[in-house]
Amino acid sequence: MADGIIEGETGTQRLLGYVLDVGRGDGRARCRLTLTEDHLNRHRALHGGIAAACLDNALGATASLTVDDSGTAPFLTVSMTLNFHAPAHAGDALEATGRVTGGGRSLVFVEGELRAGPRLIATATGVFKRVPPERLA
């Protein structure tokens, strides 16, 4: 990880080709992906599952930033709701950004946006739970 940029960390990240940026110091993680034909559905627009994956990564890493500046402390997605606003197409540079809206001892609430430049593509809200360190062994 260089300058808060995470590349190729997981099989999903390598498969989809997104980059995770956790290094801006503002408590928000960003997931970036430039769309190719491989990311499109039969209507030649961004597949909803790819949009969900980008938002899930940005929101989960944002939750992680609440306990770890590296953005790599593991969190589980408890629930996530997406709303789609506009299509995106091959060549579009997407950026999903998360923002913490609340939480307590065990859960973090995060909302996010997926944009292609100024165009709002999708929004999401999610609930995330930290994986206890003793569960990682």
pLDDT 10s digits, 84-122:
999 999 999 999 999 999 998 889 999 999 999 999 999
**The domain made up of 5-135 is a member of CATH 3.40.50.300:** no
User: Confidence band (pLDDT; 50, 70, 90) for 72?
Assistant: confident
Nearest residue to 73 (alpha-carbon basis) of 61, 83, 84, 82: 61
Residue located via tokens 């995770």:
20
Domain parsing of the chain, residue ranges: 5-135
Q: Give the mean pLDDT of the chain.
A: 94
| CA 70/CA 68 separation, integer angstroms | 5
Predicted confidence (pLDDT) per residue in 44-66, tens digit: 999 999 999 999 999 999 999 99
Of 137 and 38, which is predicted with more confidence?
38
